[in-house]
Amino acid sequence: MPELPEVETVRRELDAWLPGRTIVAARREDAPKGPKYRDLERATGQRIEALTRRGKFILLSLSGGDELVIHLGMTGQIHRARPVAHVRACLELDRGVLFFRDVRRFGRFLVVPAGAYGVLPTLAHLGPEPLDPQDFTLDRFAARLRGRKTSIKAAIMSQRPVAGVGNIYTDESLWQAQIHPRAEAGRIGRRRLDRLRGAIVEILGRSVAAGGTTLRDYRTVAGDTGAFVHQLQAYGREGAPCMRCDRVIRRVVVAQRGTWFCPGCQRK
DNA sequence: CGCATTTCCTGGTAGC
DNA sequence: TGCTACCAGGAAATGC
């Protein structure tokens, strides 16, 4: 479940390696057919100019005017040595090789003309970057939630009010802001919304500092696990006492996702 | 357009 | 042990 902190951790490792490298050959290996690996071969011969991140997407700007878009999905990993199985794509560089391993095939690894995100609607409509205070303002957050009748959990997960927050960090942020996951997104008051905004920023920042969260599959390029798993206060804690009010944390399903919250101190 | 539902995919595990 | 059934979930596709 790589979310923003996990993806940012990987991006930083790649940033120390890839810029300036030329892609000698880009190819699919055991990759699914269809759009997830579209035009990957077009990266061949292009130099990697820069690496950025938008939400959970890693973007490599290429010298030929293209962008290589990487999404880790659920189980995507980057390796510098060939993994024994589940290699979906491979970039042969002028120095070294990058392997994309993805057991469950939810990841993406494709080439588009720079900025042409028509085939990636989530990226095209992505919300503000939470770790950029100029971008993720209360006004923008509120504007992107205004009028939405769905649950705050579903709204955050849609990537449109804010970029990069998935299941784990939605639950953690709602717990910290004391907001019920089923609260109607468009009806949360400005004061509470600002608490949620602050919680998202604080939690994501703290998780980046810890190298992200590893539940099972997530690994950094160096092969390390993420230590933020030890700081989780709601996610996965069903039956355990709430660290704030001592009531028992419950697991329900909201927006088709496992959702952990405290029925004592999280209010609609 | 918004929103809910379904689909993709496979390793791990619960239950028998 | 060996089998079946089910679960995890980010994004896209589909249906209304």
For the stretch A66-95, pLDDT in tens is 999 999 998 899 999 998 889 999 999 999
Confidence of residue A167 (pLDDT cuts 50, 70, 90): very high
**In DSSP terms, which residues pair with A227 in a beta bridge?**
A213
- Mark the nucleotides of strand B covered by protein, meaning any atom under 7 Å from a CB: 2-11
Residue A34: what pLDDT?
Answer: 83
CB less than 7 Å from strand B: which protein residues? A 32, 86, 103-106, 147-151, 154-155, 186, 255-256
Measured CA distances, A242 to A18, A58, A200 (Å): 43, 35, 19
The pTM of the full predicted model, rounded to 2 decimals, is 0.95
A236 CA to C14 C1' distance (Å): 31
> 3-state DSSP call for residue A106?
coil
Asked if A1 CB < 7 A from strand C, the reply is: yes
Residues of A tagged active-site: 2-3, 56, 257
Q: Among A162-166, A215-219, A229-233, which stretch is predicted with the lowest mean pLDDT? A: A215-219
> 3-state DSSP call for residue A260?
strand
Number of Cβ atoms within 10 Å of the Cβ of A240: 12
- A129 near A165, Cβ under 8 Å? no
- What burial class does residue A229 get, using C-beta atoms within 10 Å of its C-beta: 0-12 exposed, 13-18 middle, 19+ buried? middle
Does residue A2 have a pLDDT over 80?
yes
For nucleotide C13, the protein residue with its alpha carbon nearest to C1' is A121
A258 CA to B14 C1' distance (Å): 18
Rounded to the nearest 10 degrees, the angle between the axes of helix A167-177 and helix A190-209 is: 130
**In DSSP terms, which residues pair with A77 in a beta bridge?**
A101
Q: Convert the pLDDT of each residue in A9-39 to its tens digit.
A: 999 999 999 999 999 999 999 888 888 999 9
